[in-house]
Amino acid sequence: PRLLIIDTDPGVDDAMAILMACRSPHVKLIGLTTVYGNVPTALATANALRLLERAGLEGVPVAQGAARSLKAGTDVERIADFVHGADGFGDVGLPQPKGRAEECHAAEFLVRTIAAHPGRVTVLALAPLTNIAQALMLDPALGDKWADLIILGGAFFVNGNVNPAAEANIFGDPDAADLVLGSTERLRILGLDVTQQCRMTGAELEALRGRGPHGSFVADISRFYLGYHREWYGMDAIFLHDPTAMAAVLRPDLFEWRRGAVRVASEGVTKGQTVLDASAKGFHGHNGWEGWPRVQVALGVAAEEVVGLITQL
């Protein structure tokens, strides 16, 4: 199996992705690193421990990361408690975790663990990219050492979900995102263009109860998240953002990937916008784009097959 580290802010859809990883015989989860986003960082850490304990994987280390974005000034981080509930899991009231996080920071954990298994570790980033950016600051050659980095983030040819231009994870730390996207060609990014095509209805969520070991848990924690989708999008279904990214780890062939450079707007009304240079030759000679790595961006998805894969969690 492939070795996998998930950087995460659990979060209902993060939980779905992590439980998929715990169940899959094709990956071996070797760590979770935590960051703010859906919840503050300390709660993300407690939730990561809770998920591992639920899956019987207490031995997998959790390393806590950044509590603020790279250039956090007077801004308070945007915490999406209105999407995931104050506890990140739809306010279902879970017991305290028994385990504890590692002593080291998430960025150090990433650098150390990837270096220990050169070319073998896939990193799945499901939250603002602060920890990944900090890891790249510690080791600028990290992109040559991981097997792959898969980022859940961005909105390329569709509206965002935080403002009309920006998706939440990129908006959470646009400077970190731009740094990561400028660091290596060896990464893939998938955003709302594909994740909003992958949905589960209220009835499908309820039907999970009869399936795998985590079906009832996922159905329980998803109620609040479904309520948010009903209210905001007027649909009786949830978007499967993070589990779609986990599906891309397991089955990249279910996505259409396009190569191009991506930069991120760091402020103003388009703060967090991901701009893809999809031109054949690239905008060389234009300010800020020359030499920018041409990464792989998912613009299409076999949604039914991806949702089928997620249903097996």
For the CB of residue 218, give the shortest distance to Ca ion in the complex, in Å.
15
> By C-beta, is 13 or 148 nearer to ligand BDR?
13
Q: How far is the CB of 99 from ligand BDR (least distance, A)?
A: 22
Stretch that binds Ca ion, among 13-21, 26-34, 93-101, 294-302 (CB under 5 A): 13-21
Task: Kindly tell me which residue out of 63, 101, 126, 307 binds ligand BDR, with binding defined by CB under 6 A.
Answer: 126
User: Which of Ca ion, ligand BDR, none sits in contact with 80, Cβ below 5 to 8 A by type?
Assistant: ligand BDR
Cβ closest to Ca ion, residue 5 vs residue 127: 127
Give catalytic status of residue 26 as yes or no. Answer: no
First vs last C-alpha separation in the chain: 17
CA separation, residue 39 to residues 8, 48, 95, 106, 212 (Å): 10, 11, 17, 17, 27
Give the separation between CA 294 and CA 272, rounded to whole angstroms.
Answer: 19
167 binds ligand BDR (CB under 6 A): yes
Q: Which of 84, 241, 284, 286 is catalytic?
A: 241
Going by C-alpha positions, the residue among 259, 222, 215, 227 that lies closest to residue 241 is: 222
According to CB under 5 A, which residues from 230 to 249 bind Ca ion? 242
Query: Least distance to Ca ion from the beta carbon of 246, Å?
Result: 11
Residue 242 DSSP class: H
Residue closest to Ca ion (Cβ): 126
> Among residue numbers 109 through 138, which ones bind Ca ion (CB under 5 A)?
126-127
Residue 180: phi and psi, rounded to 5, are -65, -45
CA distance 166 to 151: 15
- Going by C-alpha positions, the residue among 263, 258, 259, 266 that lies closest to residue 292 is 263
Alpha carbon 83 to chain centroid, angstroms: 15
Residue 38 found at the interface with ligand BDR (CB under 6 A): yes
Measured from the CB of residue 110, what is the shortest distance to Ca ion in angstroms?
Answer: 17
The stretch among 39-47, 70-78, 89-97, 167-175 that binds ligand BDR (CB under 6 A) is 167-175
Q: Confirm or reject binding of residue 14 to ligand BDR (CB under 6 A).
A: yes
Amino acid at residue number 54: R
Give the largest CA-CA distance in the chain.
57
Cβ(190)–Cβ(152) below 8 Å:
yes
Contact between 169 and ligand BDR by CB under 6 A: the answer reads: yes
Single out the residue of 140, 136, 129 nearest to residue 174, CA to CA: 129
The DSSP bridge pattern shows strands 199-201 and 121-125 to be unpaired
> Among 11, 154, 202, 243, which residue interacts with ligand BDR (rule: CB under 6 A)?
11
Q: Is 161 in the site for ligand BDR (CB under 6 A)?
A: yes
Strands 255-264 and 294-301, sheet pairing: antiparallel
Q: Which is nearer to ligand BDR, 11 or 174 (CB)?
A: 11
DSSP letter for 208, please.
Answer: G
| Cα→Cα distances 272→129, 248, 265, 293, Å | 12, 23, 5, 19
| Joined tokens for residue 246 | 């986990």
Residue 152 touching ligand BDR (CB under 6 A): yes
Name the binder of 167 from Ca ion, ligand BDR, none, CB < 5-8 A by kind. Answer: ligand BDR
Active-site positions read 241
Chain residues that interact with Ca ion, rule: CB under 5 A: 9, 11, 14, 126-127, 242
Which residues contribute to the site for ligand BDR (CB under 6 A)?
11, 13-14, 37-38, 80, 83, 126-127, 152, 161, 167-169, 241-242
